[in-house]
Amino acid sequence: MKNLVLSIISIGLITLLAGCNIVDDNNQEGDTITISQNITHAASQNDTDSKIEMIDEVIPVNPKKVGIFDYGILDIFDSIGLDKLGIEKIAVVKSNLPTYLNDYNNDNVINAGTLFEPNIDILDLFSPDLVIISERSAWAYDTLKSELGGVAVLNVQIDNANYLNSVVHNLNNLKLIFDNSTLFDPLKTDLETKTNDLKTKVEATDFKALIVMTNGNNVTGFGIGSRFSFIHNELAIKSADVNFGNGDNNTHGDNISFEYIESLNPNIIFVVDRSNAIGGEPSIGILDNTLVNSTEAGVNNRIIVLDSVAWYIVSGGYQSTLTMISDVSVLYE
């Protein structure tokens, strides 16, 4: 596509803050800590009567067997090394496993189900010390507790309106769970430094951006407070339409037309290709048309195809967040 010249190649390949606040770090010999977190009470994935409650979760320090239903957390563990953390066995979701995390697609790693649906029978046999859930699997909290003998469950769900703070918050909690390990500190410092450095460069410009997602023949838009609002909130790139999707929690965005894109005339168009992220055929070609190409973004080669796996599948990780920062940095080099 002529104007997608700054396309970032995929590395292989959500809005509620998990709220994990430390209540008690008064353990001896690293027995347990108590973390306060928001959890979802639901009978099923599509339960319309689900309820959110703040509870205190008792979590073993230095868990040896961990079930992971969030690729961002797997990304963080991978960045540090399971052996350095003392994790002896993990169960992960192997479907749509990002290429850069493909080392965990082997016979020594338990296949825990899907990001939406934990396999209770397999987890029962695995007998984890800790199960980590996030937005897609948040509904399963009660099921996991009841079916796995009251197992400790940590919710690492990201608050998209406070993306970096959420990631740092999770890193802080993981540090405490792993007996105040300093291994998490460099990750936190690196992310904060790189984000602030890029924000400084952004604030010296006046670009206004539109974030879109392609999925087959569909195009949706995302605004301030949406799942991709790291771009607007922490990186400080202005929104081309401050009234569009402001605080919108629709995870798949709101339908938009090419005429809307043309009339908005953004300086930058950021593109997340969902089709490609989930293993399908790339769908960004739908944007290669006269209306989109006539915008400021199109004319000035500022249609930026983001690493869809990092932004859509593995948000909340260390490596994935570095990729997100790098995706945006190409505009300011």
Give residue 245's pLDDT: 65
Asked whether 35 and 21 are in contact (CB, 8 A), the reply is: yes
- CATH 3.40.50.1980 positions along the chain are 21-157, 199-332
Element counts in the chain: helices (H) and strands (E)? 12, 14
For the chain, which residues score pLDDT lower than 50? Answer: 1-29
Amino acid at 154: L
Give residue 10's pLDDT: 39
Give residue 16's pLDDT: 37
Give the number of other Cβ atoms within 10 Å of residue 313's Cβ.
24
> What's the rounded Cα separation, in Å, for the pair 190 and 21?
22
Backbone φ and ψ of 115, nearest 5°: -60, -25
CA 31 to chain CA centroid, nearest Å: 30
Enter the pTM of the model: 0.88
> Would you say the C-alpha torsion 300, 199, 306, 8 has a positive or negative sign?
positive
Q: What is the pLDDT of residues 129-168, one digit of tens each?
A: 999 999 999 999 999 999 999 999 999 999 988 999 999 9
Class of domain 21-157: alpha beta
> What's the rounded Cα separation, in Å, for the pair 69 and 90?
11
Buried b (16+ CB within 10 A) or exposed e, 46-61: eeeebeeeeeebebbb
DSSP state of 312: I
Q: What is the pLDDT of residues 263-313, one digit of tens each?
A: 999 999 999 999 988 888 889 999 999 999 999 999 999 999 999 999 999
Give the number of other Cβ atoms within 10 Å of residue 103's Cβ.
9
List all residues 6 or more positions away from 238 whose beta carbon is below 8 Å from its beta carbon: 206, 207, 208, 209, 232
Buried b (16+ CB within 10 A) or exposed e, 159-192: bbbbbbebbbbbbbbbbbbbeebebbeebbeebe
List all residues 6 or more positions away from 263 whose beta carbon is below 8 Å from its beta carbon: none
Q: Tokens 């997100």 — which residue?
A: 324
Q: Yes or no: is domain 199-332 CATH 3.30.9.10?
A: no
Give residue 5's pLDDT: 41
Burial class (CB in 10 A: 0-12, 13-18, 19+), 278: middle
Give residue 250's pLDDT: 55
Residue (of 114, 107, 148, 109) closest to 131 by Cα position: 148
List all residues 6 or more positions away from 152 whose beta carbon is below 8 Å from its beta carbon: 57, 58, 59, 60, 63, 129, 130, 131
